[in-house]
Amino acid sequence: MDITFDHVSYTYQPGTPFAGAGLRDVSTTIRGGEYTAIIGHTGSGKSTLLQHLNALLKPTEGTVTIGDRVITPTTNNKHLRPLRQQVGMVFQFPESQLFESTVQRDIAFGPENFGMGKDEAAQLAADTAKLVGLPDDVLGRSPFDLSGGQMRRVAIAGVLAMQPSVLVLDEPTAGLDPAGRRDLMALFAQLHREQGLTIVLVTHQMDDVADFAEHVLVMDGGALVKEGTPREIFADAEWLQAHSLALPTTTRMAGELTERGFHFDRVPLTLAELADGLAPQLGGSLDE
Amino acid sequence: MLLGRYIPGNSPVHQLDPRTKLLGCFYYIGIVFLANNWITYALLFVLTLGLLPLARVRLGFFLRGLRAIMFLILFTVLLQLFFTTGGHVWWQWGWLTVTSKGVLNAVYILCRLVLIIFASTLLTLTTQPLGLADAVESILKPLKKIHVPVTELALMLSIALRFVPTLMDQTTKTMNAQRARGVDFGSGGPIKQLKSIVPLFIPLFVSAFSMADDLATAMEARGFRGGDGRTRYRALAYHRGDVVAAILLVAVTVVLIVLRTH
């Protein structure tokens, strides 16, 4: 399912002194099955863009096409529910959306809203909890008794249980410890690989962008200023710096090594690529 | 909805001491009731509308923001119009009567309500909420003598005001998150609508509790031990504009009293 933006602009509180531009003339396509990362510094319009992906916000100008639904400024707010199921949205700090008496019921809440029977939803909740790595004994407990990291998993499970075909993640690992971050990012990568889930990730972690993303959108001041593969985006360090963005650790390391006389045929993005580029130059072999 | 909002600015009205504006607003509402004939109401309208350009607020924007309250005003005016008895009867249908006195009363009520709403909207438009909290504290200070916990009340007031936008953001965020999970806010019958509020309210209360907990800890860690013996960062001071405002209000009062018995 493709999501296409056609000259989309969004203004907050139009017609008042409080009016502020959220998006300016954004045109792009997020292709089905692709892993897209959206980067940009705080206030660049990333979250506003995200909320257009399942019509929580409607454009003030232009159209958004989600699958076969066309969202225009005049689209009626009713009948958007099927859309919300197809595009699962994990907001920043999603643990603040938990409210049910038990973890199982909270995860089943989404599927039940979309018309699934109670028993089926409960079974699905148990399966999804396992998928996101929650231990079996938390299902009957209150979500408010859990640790922050576990609450985050419950919230994410609640979205995954709706079985969306697009998963939108707004800084899903913010405030987690390194192990929790790694586990979650690996889970998303696995869902993308095995179930062909379309993933849209907003993040400030350039390492995650380099490791996982296939397509990168760069936002600045509400406008889409650049898009391409991570390799294209990270090739120009000065341009990134001008837009208050950083390089992934590996690319930065490669840059420093280049200054000291090493040479890379193409910019290394992941640790493995960096090692492959370095090994021959240090006189080692590639399979060591 | 404009009432209760603040628009940042640097106009002469913005720069007045918040105490002047708060007391002035109350006083103004008091003297609105002095007006009892056309000349006095005309004077008050000229004065109130004259404040708009001084505060650099466009009249059109002001009126549009007040549309929400117009229903309330109309309701009151219609009640006055149809249920006042006495005077010359112009029209009658069942127990609904329109009398000369009723018309007069309705017009006066309309003028009063509009004047009062204009004045109080102008107050909040040009005064920062925290400034108002400071003003309330400063004005209530004498009540300390009779053991009213004024500093605590002012502290709660300023914390509450500070967290209004935060809680609003949190509300929007939670609403969107639950919408994305298939909740339809504002649709269906009353029972269904009430039920759809649960996934919104529980997370809001929980986050308010945890915010309060964090804030209390952070305040203690920074040496807060209650209101006694504190110094203040935002000191209030009267300036020339405040004297001008006070003189103006007194002058208006005198003119009103003269014109009213005229």
Residue B7 at interface with chain A, using a CB cutoff of 8 Å? yes
Residue B176 at interface with chain A, using a CB cutoff of 8 Å? yes
Residue B76 at interface with chain A, using a CB cutoff of 8 Å? no
In tens, the pLDDT along A272-283 reads: 888 888 888 887
Residue A172 at interface with chain B, using a CB cutoff of 8 Å? no
| Nearest-by-Cβ selection for A91 from B7, B177, B184 | B177
Encoding tokens for residue A55?
A: 């019509």
| Backbone torsion region of residue A13, taken as left when φ is above 0, otherwise alpha when ψ lies between -120 and 50, otherwise beta | left
DSSP run (H or E) holding A216:
strand A215-220
DSSP run (H or E) holding B93:
strand B89-93
- Residues B187-214, mean pLDDT to the nearest whole number: 90
What integer pLDDT is reported at residue B227 of this predicted model? 74
Encoding tokens for residue A230?
A: 């991570």
Residue A118 · residue A110 · CB < 8 Å: no
Encoding tokens for residue A14?
A: 């139009």
| Nearest-by-Cβ selection for A81 from B170, B176, B184 | B184
pTM of the model: 0.79
Catalytic annotation present for A171: yes
The helix/strand/coil state of A233 is: helix
| Nearest-by-Cβ selection for A84 from B179, B187, B203 | B179
Residue A53 · residue A32 · CB < 8 Å: no
Using CB atoms within 10 Å of the CB of residue B254, give its burial: 0 to 12 exposed, 13 to 18 middle, 19+ buried: exposed
What integer pLDDT is reported at residue B235 of this predicted model? 84
Name residue, tokens 């972690």: A205
What integer pLDDT is reported at residue B1 of this predicted model? 60
A-B contacts (CB, under 8 Å):
61
pLDDT band at residue B2 under the 50/70/90 scheme: low
Report d(CA B180, CA A143) in Å as an integer.
Answer: 19
pLDDT band at residue B117 under the 50/70/90 scheme: confident
Q: How many other C-beta atoms are found inside a 10 Å radius of the C-beta of residue A102?
A: 16
In tens, the pLDDT along B122-177 reads: 888 888 888 888 899 899 989 989 988 888 888 898 898 888 888 988 999 999 99
Encoding tokens for residue A56?
A: 């929580």
What integer pLDDT is reported at residue B198 of this predicted model? 92
In what side-by-side order are the strands of the sheet with A35-39? A87-90, A166-170, A198-202, A35-39, A215-220, A223-228
Encoding tokens for residue B25?
A: 């607003």
Q: Is the pLDDT of residue A17 over 80?
A: no
Q: How far is A165 from chain B (nearest CA, A)?
A: 14
Residue B48 at interface with chain A, using a CB cutoff of 8 Å? no
What integer pLDDT is reported at residue A82 of this predicted model? 85
Q: How far is A29 from chain B (nearest CA, A)?
A: 21
In tens, the pLDDT along A130-179 reads: 999 899 899 999 999 998 889 999 999 999 999 999 999 999 999 888 98
Report d(CA A178, CA B227) in Å as an integer.
Answer: 42
* Predicted-complex ipTM score: 0.86
Residue B170 at interface with chain A, using a CB cutoff of 8 Å? yes
Report d(CA A18, CA B164) in Å as an integer.
Answer: 17
In tens, the pLDDT along B59-113 reads: 887 787 778 788 888 888 888 888 777 666 777 776 677 777 888 888 888 899 8
CB contact under 8 A, A81 and B182: yes
**Of the residues A61, A95, A112, A171, which is catalytic?**
A171
Report the half-sphere exposure of A36 (CA within 13 A, side-chain side): 23
Which residues of chain A neighbour B173 with C-beta distances below 8 Å? Answer: 91-92, 96
- Which of A91, A113, A166 is the best mutation test for B, with the most CBs of B within 10 A? A113
Round to the nearest angstrom and report the end-to-end CA distance of chain B. Answer: 39
**DSSP H helices in B89-225:** 100-126, 129-140, 150-180, 190-221
Report d(CA A274, CA A277) in Å as an integer.
Answer: 5
Q: Is the pLDDT of residue A288 over 60?
A: no
Which residues of chain B neighbour A87 with C-beta distances below 8 Å? Answer: 180
Which residues of chain A neighbour B176 with C-beta distances below 8 Å? Answer: 51, 56, 89, 91
Which residues of chain A neighbour B183 with C-beta distances below 8 Å? Answer: 113
Residue B179 · residue B185 · CB < 8 Å: yes
Residue from A28, A39, A35 nearest A3 by CA: A28
Residue B179 at interface with chain A, using a CB cutoff of 8 Å? yes
Give CA B163 to chain center in angstroms: 18
| Nearest-by-Cβ selection for B182 from A17, A56, A113 | A113
Name residue, tokens 């400024």: A73
Residue B184 at interface with chain A, using a CB cutoff of 8 Å? yes
Encoding tokens for residue B222?
A: 């920074």
CB contact under 8 A, A162 and B181: yes
In tens, the pLDDT along A64-94 reads: 999 888 999 988 877 788 888 999 999 999 9
User: Average per-residue pLDDT in chain A?
Assistant: 90
Q: How far is A91 from chain B (nearest CA, A)?
A: 7
Residue B5 · residue B125 · CB < 8 Å: yes
What integer pLDDT is reported at residue A286 of this predicted model? 57
Which residues of chain B neighbour A92 with C-beta distances below 8 Å? Answer: 173
User: Average per-residue pLDDT in chain B?
Assistant: 86
Which residues of chain B neighbour A88 with C-beta distances below 8 Å? Answer: 180
Residue B182 · residue A114 · CB < 8 Å: yes
Q: How many other C-beta atoms are found inside a 10 Å radius of the C-beta of residue B55?
A: 18
Which residues of chain A neighbour B177 with C-beta distances below 8 Å? Answer: 89, 91, 94, 96-97
- Which of B181, B183, B185 is the best mutation test for A, with the most CBs of A within 10 A? B181
β-bridge partners, B242 = none
Report d(CA B228, CA B226) in Å as an integer.
Answer: 6
What integer pLDDT is reported at residue B3 of this predicted model? 65
Q: Supply the DSSP symbol for A10.
A: E
What integer pLDDT is reported at residue B143 of this predicted model? 92
